[in-house]
């Protein structure tokens, strides 16, 4: 079931006007009627909070895969170096009221535009150490081609639209990075 994200610093990447115009009720149910896997069952969007630990396999296991022949996944990890410099940790801040709305809207667009059945997404917030999961996206579809296309589109759009900020804490200082990097 979708969860409202809690424990974030309330900041925003998109303009407040754009985010405020999004439907507040779009996370009211995990099931969203769409064209999916050639009409079998209902499409599903699942957005989960991950303030301390992102469990990609557990999230994937919650996907509605009825009638599907593919699950395409993306799992982003914290690198231990950036530009040859040791990274001690990443710190993610988010606009708590809008992050789940933006992720849900992106998932809905992907279902509509790529014809996939189910999407599950989660993004860490707070401190994330090297080697730890940052973000995961799982896309269930009838065929792999639309799954790969939807998954690639989702991570690209998440990086530009999600109200998230990343600070790298490195050997040479602390740096705020644009997007999710």
Domains and CATH numbers, the chain: 25-173 (3.90.1170.40)
Is 147's pLDDT higher than 90?
A: yes
Query: Band of the pLDDT at 1, cuts 50, 70, 90?
Result: very low
Flag the least confident range among 10-14, 39-43, 55-59, 70-74.
10-14
Q: 0.85 exceeded by the pTM?
A: no
For the residues 96-100, what does the mean pLDDT come to? Answer: 85
Give the per-residue pLDDT at 42: 65
Do the beta carbons of residue 71 and residue 140 sit within 8 Å? yes
Give the per-residue pLDDT at 180: 46
For the residues 63-91, what does the mean pLDDT come to? Answer: 96
pLDDT in tens, 79-89: 999 999 999 99
Query: Band of the pLDDT at 51, cuts 50, 70, 90?
Result: confident
What CA–CA distance (Å, rounded) separates 160 from 151? 15
What CA–CA distance (Å, rounded) separates 24 from 20? 8
What CA–CA distance (Å, rounded) separates 127 from 142? 36
């Amino acid at each position: 079931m979708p969860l409202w994200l809690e424990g974030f610093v309330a900041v925003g990447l998109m303009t407040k006007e754009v985010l405020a115009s999004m439907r507040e009720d779009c996370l009211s149910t995990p099931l969203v009627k769409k064209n999916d896997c050639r009409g079998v069952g209902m499409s599903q969007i699942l957005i989960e909070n991950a303030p301390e630990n992102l469990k990609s396999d557990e999230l994937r296991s919650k996907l509605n895969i009825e009638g599907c022949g593919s699950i395409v996944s993306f799992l982003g990890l914290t690198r231990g170096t950036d530009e040859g410099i040791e990274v001690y940790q990443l710190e993610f801040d988010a606009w708590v009221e809008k992050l789940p709305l933006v992720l849900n809207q992106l998932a809905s667009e992907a279902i509509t535009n790529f014809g996939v059945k189910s999407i599950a997404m989660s993004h860490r917030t707070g401190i994330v150490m090297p080697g730890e999961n940052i973000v995961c996206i799982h896309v269930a579809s009838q065929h792999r081609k639309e799954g790969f296309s939807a998954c690639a589109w989702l991570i690209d759009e998440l990086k530009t639209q999600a109200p998230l900020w990343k600070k790298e804490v490195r050997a040479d200082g602390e740096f705020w990075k644009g997007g999710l990097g």
